[in-house]
Amino acid sequence: MAAEIVNPRSDSSTDQEGAEPLDSFDPAFALHRGGKMAVQATVPVRDKDDLSLAYTPGVARVCTAIAEQPDLVNDYTWKSSVVAVVTDGTAVLGLGDIGPQASLPVMEGKAILFKQFGGVDAVPIALDCTGVDEIVETVVRLAPSFGGVNLEDISAPRCFEIEKQLQERLDIPVFHDDQHGTAVVTLAALRNAARLSRREIGQLRAVISGAGAAGVAIAKMLVEAGIGDVAVADRKGVVSADREDLTSVKRELAGFTNKAGITGSLEDALAGADVFIGVSGGTVPEEAVASMAEGAFVFAMANPNPEVHPDVAHKYAAVVATGRSDFPNQINNVLAFPGIFAGALQVRATRITEGMKIAAAEALAAVVGDDLAADYVIPSPFDERVAPAVTAAVAAAARAEGVARR
């Protein structure tokens, strides 16, 4: 049995004057009391000799060396092994715009998942600003302390521009996990579903419900991976070049998707489709699922309520996946982001390329071997093979694409 984890800062006496503490009846509050993280030293300071090395005067020699040779910061500080987890609290889980302070428990959670599953240290940073320029400038100024930046829970369409500008201005990996982590795990599950049904991904026509951060990134990744065709639908129907109400992001999306020229509603697009990928919430009518091709794949990933309940999807689909842990085939970002950053940091990559993301997806898919089955097309986050496989694949891809610095 694992040893009990004790939070030295916890104190469950009262939350307010005489009020019964929330954690007396809710275990989630009990776990969160005092926060889920702390800073721990990696070297001892036992006596004055240790103190003189860890701090002044010894530290001055290290500072001088870094000033003369800046790359040494990666060897003699935490920079090359630590990720900033940055949010403005505008698109937190299914809660929406709840602000920076209310988002902090999620960012702490993200940071401990980095450590637990990838061995990567991470620092939650909740920003009290929402303007694109203000966020970009703030992160640029914080960047000297970090080896990478994970953007989290920033609402669309601002998230696209923030990531783009930061990638252009920084020489460390910048990765919006709500986009790319979801896309990597989705592609891995789709590759295995296709393998199970003895089809190539190039033979498949997919329909994505949702043209936000995740939907756009999934579409891009599927096209990059060679999908036969993919159409994306938003609240107003299929994103197509003939629509006059498209944002700049959706106009770009229309330019590389929907080769078949489908118009109309999501339900219209699903007729005869091989794959449904839901990242938008809402409900898809059963008759629309029934209209899909025989042996279809349904990835209904909205939380807590999938767009298509698995009981309904199983009537018509060969493979069903959701975003929930209480159903088989959970599409969970934690399968991707720890290993992706671990691999990128290992080689001190300047960025995370499309090739690195596809390598991550292929490595994740390959973890599922001969035990591949309709209810097992994606491994569990607790499968100890996942992070090492993704880490190695991402590091190798970074070297192959010339973005590695070691």
**Residue 384 to residue 53: CA distance in whole angstroms:** 37
pLDDT per position as a tens digit, 258-313: 999 999 999 999 999 999 999 987 889 999 999 999 999 999 999 888 999 999 99
Q: Quick one: DSSP state of residue 70? A: G
3-class DSSP state of 199: coil
At 36, is the pLDDT very low, low, confident or very high (cuts 50, 70, 90)? very high
pLDDT per position as a tens digit, 108-125: 999 999 999 999 999 999
pLDDT per position as a tens digit, 309-365: 999 999 999 999 999 989 999 999 999 999 999 999 999 999 999 999 999 999 999
Predicted local confidence at residue 281, as pLDDT: 78
Q: Which two tokens stand for residue 242?
A: 């003939």
pLDDT per position as a tens digit, 45-66: 999 999 999 999 999 999 999 9
pLDDT per position as a tens digit, 14-31: 444 545 667 677 888 888
Predicted local confidence at residue 95, as pLDDT: 87
Predicted local confidence at residue 11, as pLDDT: 52
**Residue 182 to residue 202: CA distance in whole angstroms:** 20
CA distances to 166, 400, 405 from 347, rounded to whole Å, are 20, 11, 6
pLDDT per position as a tens digit, 120-172: 999 999 999 999 999 999 999 999 999 999 999 999 999 999 999 999 999 99
Predicted local confidence at residue 7, as pLDDT: 53
What is the arithmetic mean of pLDDT over 238-250?
A: 92
Taking alpha carbons only, the member of 81, 75, 165 closest to residue 341 is: 81
Predicted local confidence at residue 9, as pLDDT: 52
List domains and CATH numbers for the chain. 78-172 (3.40.50.10380), 178-406 (3.40.50.720)
**Residue 225 to residue 379: CA distance in whole angstroms:** 20
pLDDT at 394 over 50: yes
**Residue 148 to residue 81: CA distance in whole angstroms:** 8
Taking alpha carbons only, the member of 356, 332, 365, 384 closest to residue 148 is: 356
Residue 11 CB-density burial (10 A; 0-12 exposed, 13-18 middle, 19+ buried): exposed
φ/ψ (deg, to 5) at 231 = -115, 145
Predicted local confidence at residue 303, as pLDDT: 86
**Residue 404 to residue 397: CA distance in whole angstroms:** 9
Which residue among 36, 48, 79, 110 is the active-site one? 110
Predicted local confidence at residue 12, as pLDDT: 46
**Residue 332 to residue 316: CA distance in whole angstroms:** 23
Predicted local confidence at residue 304, as pLDDT: 84
At 5, is the pLDDT very low, low, confident or very high (cuts 50, 70, 90)? very low
Q: Which two tokens stand for residue 137?
A: 């400038």
Predicted local confidence at residue 254, as pLDDT: 94
Predicted local confidence at residue 4, as pLDDT: 46
Residue-wise DSSP of 45-56: --SHHHHHHHST
pTM of the full predicted structure? 0.91
Query: What separation, in Å, do the N-terminal and C-terminal C-alpha atoms of the chain show?
Result: 40
Sheet of 148-151, strands arranged across: 121-126, 82-87, 148-151, 174-176
Q: Which amino acid is at 16?
A: Q
pLDDT per position as a tens digit, 197-215: 999 999 999 999 999 999 9
Taking alpha carbons only, the member of 179, 115, 174 closest to residue 139 is: 174
pLDDT at 72 over 80: yes
Q: Which two tokens stand for residue 397?
A: 């891809």
**Residue 391 to residue 343: CA distance in whole angstroms:** 4
pLDDT at 6 over 80: no
Give bridge partners of residue 84 from the DSSP assignment.
Answer: 123, 149
* HEC assignment per residue over 122-174: EEEEECCCCCHHHHHHHHHHHHHHCCEEEECCCCCCHHHHHHHHHHHHCCCCE
Active site residue 259: no
Residue-wise DSSP of 256-309: HS-TT---S-HHHHHTT-SEEEE-S-S---HHHHHTSPTTEEEEE--SSS-SS-
- Residue 129: count other Cβ atoms within 10 Å of its Cβ: 12
Predicted local confidence at residue 283, as pLDDT: 86
Active site residue 236: no
Q: What does DSSP say about strands 237-238 and 229-234: parallel, antiparallel, or unpaired?
A: antiparallel
